[in-house]
Amino acid sequence: MKCAGCVATVTPGLNALKEVESWKADVSGAEKTLSVEAEETAVPKVIAALEKVGFKAERIL
């Protein structure tokens, strides 16, 4: 994600996941990260939601 438009694109999918407690996109930093607070079972669902709208995602601990 590079901009506010990208954040707007992923917002509906992430907000629809009941397992996700909160999330935050940092588009101003060099690494452009997405932080998600969620149940462990949500990881594949979060990745799928992002891929559905054209973003590649991987889990980083």
Residue 61 falls inside a structural domain: no
Does residue 59 belong to any structural domain of this protein?
no
pLDDT confidence bin for 8, thresholds 50/70/90: very high
Task: Tell me how many helices (H) and strands (E) the chain has.
Answer: 2, 2
- Alpha-carbon distance of 61 to 53, in angstroms, equals 23
28 falls within a domain: yes
Residue 57 maps to a domain: no
- Reported in sequence order, the residue ranges of 1-61 that DSSP labels E, i.e. its strands, are 20-26, 33-38
Tally of structural domains, the chain? 1
Q: What is the pLDDT of residues 14-54, one digit of tens each?
A: 999 999 999 999 999 888 899 999 999 999 999 999 999 99
33 located within any domain: yes
> Taking residues 56-60, what's their average pLDDT?
90
> Is residue 42 included in any domain, yes or no?
yes
Range of the domain at 30: 4-52
pLDDT of residue 1 exceeding 90: no
Residue 60 lies in a domain: no
Q: In the predicted model, is pLDDT for residue 61 greater than 90?
A: no
